[in-house]
Chain A
Amino acid sequence: MNRELGIDELRGILIACAGGDDDALRGDISDVPFDELGYDSLALIETAATLKRDHGVVIPDELITEVQSPGELLSMVNDRITA
């Protein structure tokens, strides 16, 4: 079983994929909607590509474009890591 991903690691992946080193991304972002964080569907598709490439986690396009917040994405990722 692979190690679960933490919110700070996900934060790092989001920033690396789609930019953003501003205040909006600091603190607890788990329940902040992606819209408010400034990430659109393309940013999430880029994030999904990185998750697949570097963590072996496959999140299908139809799910990644529906996910609302980093917390929701994190559970989705960790469900697959522990599955």
Chain B
Amino acid sequence: MSLITGLGVIAPNGLGVKDFWNATLTGRSGIGELDRFGTAGYPARLAGLVTGLDPAQHLPGRLMPQTDVSTQLALIAAQWALDDAGVDTAAMTDYDMGVVTANASGGFEFTHREFNKLWSQGPEHVSVYESFAWFYAVNTGQISIRHGMRGPSCTLVAEQAGGLDALGHARRTVRTGVPLVVCGGVDSAFDPWGWISHLAGGRVSVDPDPATAYRPFDTRAAGYLPGEGGAICLVEDAAAARARGVRGYGEISGYATTFDPPPGSGRPPALRRAAELALADAGTAPGEVDVVFADAAGVPELDQAEAAALREIFGVRGVPVTAPKALTGRLLSGGGVLDVVLAVMSMQEGVIPPTFGTASVPADYGIDLVLGEPCRAEVNTALVLARGRWGFNAATVIRTVESWS
């Protein structure tokens, strides 16, 4: 059994689990105007921005010149997760600790800066650290080096679905006998090059009002906003956690990933299949699910497709659905992991956070979207969904930890 025993959160609307949870319940948004470069003339300027965190205050000076901001955030989140779990990594065997992170963008800002030097000053001005600072696998590598974790490790790239895939792979790693895996996802790409890449996807909302630009499942939904940050978790074998006297936040009880059929095939998207396979993997019937944290694309046809999958699995308005990511934007690999954090907090606190921003859901969606304010509910089982651009789907079932005795 794989338990989540530590949480490290860096979200646009909150630093650390408590701050993020409070923001999620009170509707404090992390959406703001991008001000890191001149954005005049860009069709969209709103994003979920991590503020109030100076990485240099949290990381050794040696790491600063060799890391992109996304890696700095991942390293800090990993440290917070380890602190939260109370694990003494120095006392553990290096091969007993693995690292599995998802990353969708790599080190965009760092690379933009070095490429700028390359074309304006010449190759001898480019940092030697560009050799790995750009790389998707660098977050896994830097966490592994910093904490001396030499167990089975890898990196997964699946756009917004990747974070859930990382947790799923962490569970798989624990099953092979590794007692502890640091896992999750963090992304940031808000330099001019990164921003253009977000916009080129064609689904970013051009609504200039931060309160309405990203309102998933709303009748007026008109796209999403990108966000930065994410979450790193500690996943431990239940026996190892119990040996430390740790109960854990929740169990990763089910996981599945699927890929969509090619456009024009006439076959349905594979999100429903991912959810059903994850529930089957968990041995959980749809009726036992207390809440669904939706992918919540914010694009009408995608919202409609997700609503259809939920109706087919749970029946019309068959389960409470929520999308707190309206307050953060879509964080790519960090998105699904933040939802898992909220799922375990919902269990702990007996509250389902609402979907702020969304006001009216089309009746034909047939989903019970939690709106307006937090909803008191006993939550023992949560289903978390994520879709990545170009066909990735992932679903994770999180369950409360059963009593030890």
Contact = CB atoms under 8 A, between A and B. Distances in A.
A70 B125 CA distance: 22
Interface string B50-87: 00000000001111111000000000000000000000
A56 to B, nearest CB: 11
A17 B62 CA distance: 9
Chain A interface, >50% SS class: helix
Interface residues of A, number: 17
A19 B124 contact: no
A43 to B, nearest CB: 8
Contact of A46 (B60, B63, B64, B127): B127
A60 B131 CA distance: 19
B113 to A, nearest CB: 15
A49 interface: yes
B61 A53 contact: no
Interface residues of B, number: 13
A48 B236 CA distance: 43
B128 interface: yes
B65 A19 contact: yes
A22 B65 contact: no
Interface in A1-52: 15-22, 38-39, 42-43, 45-46, 49, 52
Contact of A19 (B64, B125, B128, B131): B64
Contacts of A16: 65
A53 B127 CA distance: 12
B390 interface: no
B62 A20 contact: yes
Nearest to B59: A19
Contacts of A39: 62
B129 interface: yes
5 closest residue pairs by CB, A with B: A19-B61, A46-B128, A19-B62, A19-B65, A20-B61
Given A15-B61, A18-B65, A46-B65, 19 more contacts: A16-B65, A17-B65, A18-B62, A19-B60, A19-B61, A19-B63, A19-B64, A19-B65, A19-B66, A20-B60, A39-B62, A42-B128, A42-B129, A43-B62, A46-B127, A49-B124, A52-B124, A53-B124, A53-B125
